[in-house]
A and B are shown apart, each in its own frame.
Chain A
Amino acid sequence: MSEIWKAAIVDSFNRFLGKVLVFLPNLLAMVTILLVGVLIAWVVKRILIRFFKAIQFDNISERWGLARILSHRGISYSPTSLLARFFYWIIILIALILGINALEVAATQTLITQFFNFLPHLFAAIGILVIGYLIGVFLGQAALIAAVNAQMESARVLSLAVRWFITILSLTMGLYHLGIAEKVIVATFSITFGGIVLALAIAFGWGGRELAKEFLERFSRRGKGREEGPDKISHI
């Protein structure tokens, strides 16, 4: 009986040892991948900081209003530091996932595949959002200046409308790209945008008939009789 007992224990221990011996190289591979990942992330972070400083990314962000948004949100990092940190943690995350993958645990394999398939979409969506925001700021500013120079009293409202329209459009595109409730998002955007345009059309056409008439008359007069304007000043 004791022989059988002994054999069972030894057999079990051997099987455990065998599994440990099979698992150990994977564990070492994971640790190595993590260490290399951390090293690469650190190097990439340093390179990015130098690169962004060389192209004066902080100044550009200041000009585009990104730095202001960060400070308003209570983020004390500079845009350069923030972006470098972002890529640092992305590389760490990838290294971690690769490390887990190296363990060859069946349950994690599918999840990891799905994660890597999703990653390009995530980056594309972030890109769309950032570019959309920057275009929104740029065109909003352009609209504001043009409206002031056209002496429109509601210049700021027009500027905000342009800015928000482009930001919401990019947000919609980003979410659509991620595949999150695609149909709902497109329908929501179409209904909202269509509703706004319809509301403005009704408001301007019905509520502001006199204003619209006056505006069109003024526009028509300007086209016909440019020379009869009150200013005959030659600027150059």
Chain B
Amino acid sequence: MENTFRDQLKQIGETDLLIGIPSYNNVRTIGHVVRAVMGGLAKYFPKARAVIINSDGGSTDGTQEEVRRVQIEDYRTILTSHPVHPIHKIVTPYHGIPGKGSAFRVIFEAACILNAKACAVVDSDLRSITPEWVELLLRPIYEEGFDYVSPLYARHKFDGTITNSIVYPLTRALYGKRVRQPIGGDFGFCGKLAEFYLTKEVWETDVARFGIDIWMTTLAIAEGYKVCQSYLGAKIHDAKDPGSDLGPMFTQVVSSVFKLMEEYQDFWKEVRTTQPVPTFGFQYEVGLEPISVNVERMIRHFQLGVKDLMEIWRKALSLDTTRGLEWMARLSDEEFIFPQKLWVQIVYDFAIAYHHRTIHREHLIKSMIPLYLGKVASFVRESIESSASEVEKEIESLCQVFEEMKSSLIERWS
């Protein structure tokens, strides 16, 4: 942490609320995000002391200047009065591995120094954030006694495919809590949880990058903190996402999930059922922007994987599973389907291979990408005509398969 940043925090003393905004070259959207956060604080927590911290990864497009510049000149325009206390705004660069997790680390440190009661983090590329998000992420902690708030969004049916096909079903089956968006990106948490996060030595791992979201959610559940979720409405973010390459994103998220499985194996082996978590917010339908998906390209990628990576997969997968994949590779684009049981078997087999170090771990996870794209292609093809609720039913059915097959995972985990 920089000395000037520390001095700024010491000058502030203590705070009730803290909002962290990690950023990297988000000048197009961060102004809107900061305004929404300031509006939310003024509207819903006018008497609370609040600090906004922008933890920046060295933006070169003027992101930091934009955060400093943005103000709400007239609070009446958002139908609220001026907050009792001024809202402090601090812009600071973070150090260490470039990534979202490193940015969060600075926010956790600030929360501890300022003795913040309730904190929230929101992405800086959001176009759909409103002042209500601030209330929905902070109030369950500030007033309702919860420790961790996970987001719940209305998303396009083809959005969040790593979440829908791996992270949500697996996290739910393992840890027993139905947290629908465990890697949503916008979270609320209490000060003591921020302090707990800082006690962990994970800042040189994938947690410092895209693994931070699942790490925060899993720790909150497995360490027994009170977890809930808040419905925030539509999640629409800027098209330009600097870290949006699938490879690193997939590798960092999935390896974090598998690593956490090792850390909390004693916990999840005992979990037999799943429970819903309390949900705040008024749920409503939203119109979402259409998303174009090139299914044929995904199927070609999958088929190429079957042709060239089978030798590697055989070290992790059973004979029946590899036969299933070979059968799939022969299907035409129109017939292409990824059976749910086969997919769950693959995810569990890869988790076990990761645990047993059957193959170099990074190679293992990267070799899973063609399989994942095959699953996404099948999902898109099957649900092209489906409504949002039908897609949700399909995801629910996948979750149940993950839960049913968990016993086989426990048996082979050892």
Same complex: yes
| CB within 8 Å for A148 and B305 given contacts A230-B297, A231-B294, A236-B210 | yes
Tell me the nearest residue of chain B to A151, going by C-beta: B301
- B340 contacts chain A at the CB level, 8 A cutoff: no
Q: Which of A59, A63, A227 sits near B240, CB closer than 8 Å?
A: A227
| CB within 8 Å for A145 and B367 given contacts A63-B357, A235-B161 | yes
Indicate if the CB atoms of A234 and B357 lie closer than 8 Å. no
Indicate if the CB atoms of B309 and A145 lie closer than 8 Å. yes
B 239-254 binary contact with A (CB < 8 Å = 1; else 0): 1110010110110010
Indicate if the CB atoms of B358 and A63 lie closer than 8 Å. yes
Tell me the nearest residue of chain A to B309, going by C-beta: A148
Residues on the B chain within 8 Å of A147, using CB = 308
Indicate if the CB atoms of A235 and B370 lie closer than 8 Å. no
Tell me the nearest residue of chain A to B163, going by C-beta: A236
Indicate if the CB atoms of B161 and A233 lie closer than 8 Å. yes
Indicate if the CB atoms of A138 and B308 lie closer than 8 Å. no
Indicate if the CB atoms of B249 and A59 lie closer than 8 Å. no
- B369 contacts chain A at the CB level, 8 A cutoff: yes
B 159-173 binary contact with A (CB < 8 Å = 1; else 0): 111110001000000
Q: Which of B160, B163, B304, B366 sits near A153, CB closer than 8 Å?
A: B304
Question: CA A234 – CA B304 in complex, angstroms?
Answer: 23
Indicate if the CB atoms of A234 and B237 lie closer than 8 Å. yes
- B5 contacts chain A at the CB level, 8 A cutoff: no
- B359 contacts chain A at the CB level, 8 A cutoff: yes
Indicate if the CB atoms of B308 and A156 lie closer than 8 Å. yes
- B271 contacts chain A at the CB level, 8 A cutoff: no
The smallest beta-carbon distance between B252 and chain A, in angstroms, is 10
Indicate if the CB atoms of B160 and A63 lie closer than 8 Å. no
Indicate if the CB atoms of A235 and B293 lie closer than 8 Å. no
Indicate if the CB atoms of A230 and B292 lie closer than 8 Å. yes
B 204-215 binary contact with A (CB < 8 Å = 1; else 0): 000000100100
Question: CA A220 – CA B163 in complex, angstroms?
Answer: 32
Indicate if the CB atoms of A149 and B370 lie closer than 8 Å. yes
The smallest beta-carbon distance between A85 and chain B, in angstroms, is 26
Question: CA A63 – CA B283 in complex, angstroms?
Answer: 49
| CB within 8 Å for A145 and B246 given contacts A227-B240, A233-B159, A235-B160 | no
Question: CA A230 – CA B292 in complex, angstroms?
Answer: 6
| CB within 8 Å for A151 and B300 given contacts A141-B312, A145-B312, A233-B293 | yes
Indicate if the CB atoms of B360 and A138 lie closer than 8 Å. yes
Indicate if the CB atoms of A141 and B250 lie closer than 8 Å. no
Indicate if the CB atoms of B370 and A141 lie closer than 8 Å. no
- A155 contacts chain B at the CB level, 8 A cutoff: yes
Question: CA A147 – CA B24 in complex, angstroms?
Answer: 29
Indicate if the CB atoms of A144 and B308 lie closer than 8 Å. yes
Indicate if the CB atoms of A235 and B250 lie closer than 8 Å. yes
Q: Which of A127-184 contact B (CB under 8 A)?
A: 138, 141-142, 144-149, 151, 153, 155-156, 159
- B200 contacts chain A at the CB level, 8 A cutoff: no
Residues on the B chain within 8 Å of A141, using CB = 312, 360, 363
The smallest beta-carbon distance between A194 and chain B, in angstroms, is 29
- A19 contacts chain B at the CB level, 8 A cutoff: no
- A232 contacts chain B at the CB level, 8 A cutoff: yes
Indicate if the CB atoms of A151 and B304 lie closer than 8 Å. yes
The smallest beta-carbon distance between B313 and chain A, in angstroms, is 11
Indicate if the CB atoms of B249 and A236 lie closer than 8 Å. yes
Residues on the B chain within 8 Å of A144, using CB = 308-309, 312
Indicate if the CB atoms of A234 and B292 lie closer than 8 Å. no
Residues on the A chain within 8 Å of B44, using CB = none
Q: Which of A145, A148, A151, A235 sits near B162, CB closer than 8 Å?
A: A235
- B183 contacts chain A at the CB level, 8 A cutoff: yes
Question: CA A67 – CA B406 in complex, angstroms?
Answer: 32
The smallest beta-carbon distance between A91 and chain B, in angstroms, is 32
Indicate if the CB atoms of A142 and B363 lie closer than 8 Å. yes
Residues on the B chain within 8 Å of A145, using CB = 309, 312, 363, 366-367
Indicate if the CB atoms of B370 and A233 lie closer than 8 Å. no
Question: CA A149 – CA B250 in complex, angstroms?
Answer: 12
Question: CA A147 – CA B376 in complex, angstroms?
Answer: 20
Residues on the A chain within 8 Å of B292, using CB = 230-232
Q: Which of A146, A151, A230, A231 sits near B366, CB closer than 8 Å?
A: A146
Most B Cβ at <10 Å: residue of A144, A146, A149, A227: A149
Most A Cβ at <10 Å: residue of B237, B244, B250: B244
Q: List 23 A-B contacts (CB under 8 A).
A: A59-B357, A62-B315, A63-B357, A141-B360, A141-B363, A144-B308, A144-B312, A145-B363, A148-B305, A149-B247, A149-B369, A149-B370, A151-B304, A155-B304, A227-B239, A230-B293, A231-B292, A231-B293, A233-B158, A233-B159, A234-B159, A234-B161, A236-B183
- Interface on B for A, CB 8 Å cutoff? 158-163, 167, 183, 185, 210, 213, 237, 239-241, 244, 246-247, 249-250, 253, 291-294, 297, 300-301, 304-305, 308-309, 312, 315, 356-360, 363, 366-367, 369-370, 376
4 extra interface residue pairs, beta carbon distance < 8 Å, beyond A59-B358, A145-B367, A235-B249: A155-B308, A230-B297, A232-B291, A233-B291
The 10 closest A-B pairs by CB, nearest first: A230-B294, A235-B162, A145-B366, A155-B308, A234-B159, A236-B162, A145-B367, A148-B308, A232-B291, A236-B183
